[in-house]
Chain A
Amino acid sequence: MRLNTLFLKKLFVLSLIFAFIAGVNASAFANSEHNETVLKDSAHVTEAHAEGEGHAAGHGEEPFEPTKVIMEHISDSHDWHLWGHTSIGLPVILYTEAGLVTFNSSEFHHDQEGTHVVEKDGQKFVRFENKIYYAAETANEKGQYLTLADEHPTNAKPLDFSITKNVASMFLSAIILCLVFFSVAAAYKKREGKAPRGLQSFIEPIIVFVRDEVARPNIGHKYVRYMPFLLTVFFFILINNLIGLIPIFPGGANLTGNIAVTFVLGTITFLVTNFSGNKYYWKHVLAPDVPWWLYPIMLVVEVIGLLSKPFALIIRLFANITAGHIIVLSLISLIFIFKTLYIAPVSVAFVLFMDVLELLVAFLQAFIFTMLTALFIGTAVEEHHH
């Protein structure tokens, strides 16, 4: 403990010194075009516009838009951006009027403005702000093959089933989960009845926690049936939260902060809850203990109550994780907003703090989602003894 604090202090002092030196160096080039370009390049701010070094200098004066950058990072995309101008192309799968069309997203050449047309199977597509549209016949004055109304394209869209960054990240997390838990299960088989070891001893308390603190007290003696579901939900959310916190390549996707993912999870919870509801539950919903003339109102209230529970789950997870990503990115953006490296130590310290907090939130949100799911299931399967 003491060693750790000492180490952290040293690290902090070192980073301060480093930042100071870097700041002095940077101020030597102060006001030079080049410096700003470097700064912006390193933040990939101008990636969509800058084609090369020489070109970037021309665009050097383009203002920094934190909102745009942050939105870019927290929303889904068809490429997996690595660094600078390097990104991995991911498969684009489109369900068009003429069937499935697949191609690699790198064919868009990082275009997000709808200026680059990709022609496949006799159909033309353009990409505008991470969405794929059918291309218009002719380009408008900005070179976009789109018809824009109030800055929003009005072109028709094919159904997009692409393996996006989020989907790829989800596959990765699914593979990690499978590897981890298959190995743990194998360990349980191999070392039957013995004390846990290694990964097993890390996972076991969490499983026991889910069983003893989440499932059993909330669901009651019928908890065994719901254990697999609760465990899967818990670990799925947890690992995706954690992977989302990693800033470099295999991580960084804002998966559990994406409304589509939380929507699916919430919907599954809703379905599981209502399919396991017993007669007391349905009596409570459909025929509550109120005078008969209140039924029309009560029915509406109860149905809203049914829907609002998973809705709250969906929104909570989405908003918490997205908010965390936004805060971290905003703090990093401070460096580029103030256009100085002096702010970097402050920014980095705050980001460090926020990341630690997000680590807690990652566990807490996984726990709360599982907990509330168990609570809802518990109310659905509860036996009443009047």
Chain B
Amino acid sequence: MIGSIAAIGAGLAVIGAGLGIGRIGGSAMEGIARQPEAASKIQTAMIIAAALVEGVALFGVVVALLGTR
């Protein structure tokens, strides 16, 4: 039971992370389209931001794992 609830929580966390990473990626694309010469800098910043968002989502996953047994 706890495992299932934790799994739902993890799913919700994933929704949030998905939205966040999607926004980051979209904005980065826009930025690159506007300034192709800054592509490498934007990419680095994008990866860092995505990693930070992903980190939050992974906390959700860890909570789900804690819930299993």
Contact = CB atoms under 8 A, between A and B. Distances in A.
Do A and B share a complex? yes
Interface of A: 213, 217, 312, 315-316, 319-320, 323, 364, 367-368, 371-372, 375
A375 B48 contact: yes
Interface in B28-54: 44, 47-48, 51-52, 54
B55 A316 contact: yes
A280 B20 CA distance: 32
Interface on chain A toward B: helix, strand, loop, or mixed SS?
Answer: helix
Interface in B11-69: 44, 47-48, 51-52, 54-55, 58-59, 61-62
Contact of A315 (B44, B48, B52, B55): B55
B51 A316 contact: yes
Interface residues of B, number: 11
A329 to B, nearest CB: 16
B58 A316 contact: yes
B23 to A, nearest CB: 19
Contacts of A372: 48, 51
B59 A368 contact: no
Contacts of B59: 312, 315
Which secondary structure dominates where chain B touches chain A?
helix
Smallest CB-CB A-B distances: 5 pairs: A312-B55, A319-B58, A368-B51, A315-B58, A319-B61
Contact of A371 (B47, B54, B55, B58): B47
A312 B49 CA distance: 13
B44 to A, nearest CB: 7
A183 B22 CA distance: 43
A316 B54 contact: yes
A289 B48 CA distance: 26
B25 to A, nearest CB: 14
Nearest to A375: B48
A312 B17 CA distance: 14
Given A315-B58, A371-B51, 7 more contacts: A213-B44, A312-B52, A312-B59, A319-B61, A368-B48, A368-B51, A375-B48
25 contacts: A213-B44, A217-B44, A312-B52, A312-B55, A312-B58, A315-B55, A315-B59, A315-B62, A316-B51, A316-B54, A316-B55, A316-B58, A319-B61, A319-B62, A320-B58, A364-B47, A368-B47, A368-B48, A368-B51, A371-B44, A371-B47, A371-B48, A372-B48, A372-B51, A375-B48
Contacts of B54: 316
A372 B55 CA distance: 12
A371 B48 CA distance: 8
A237 B9 CA distance: 29
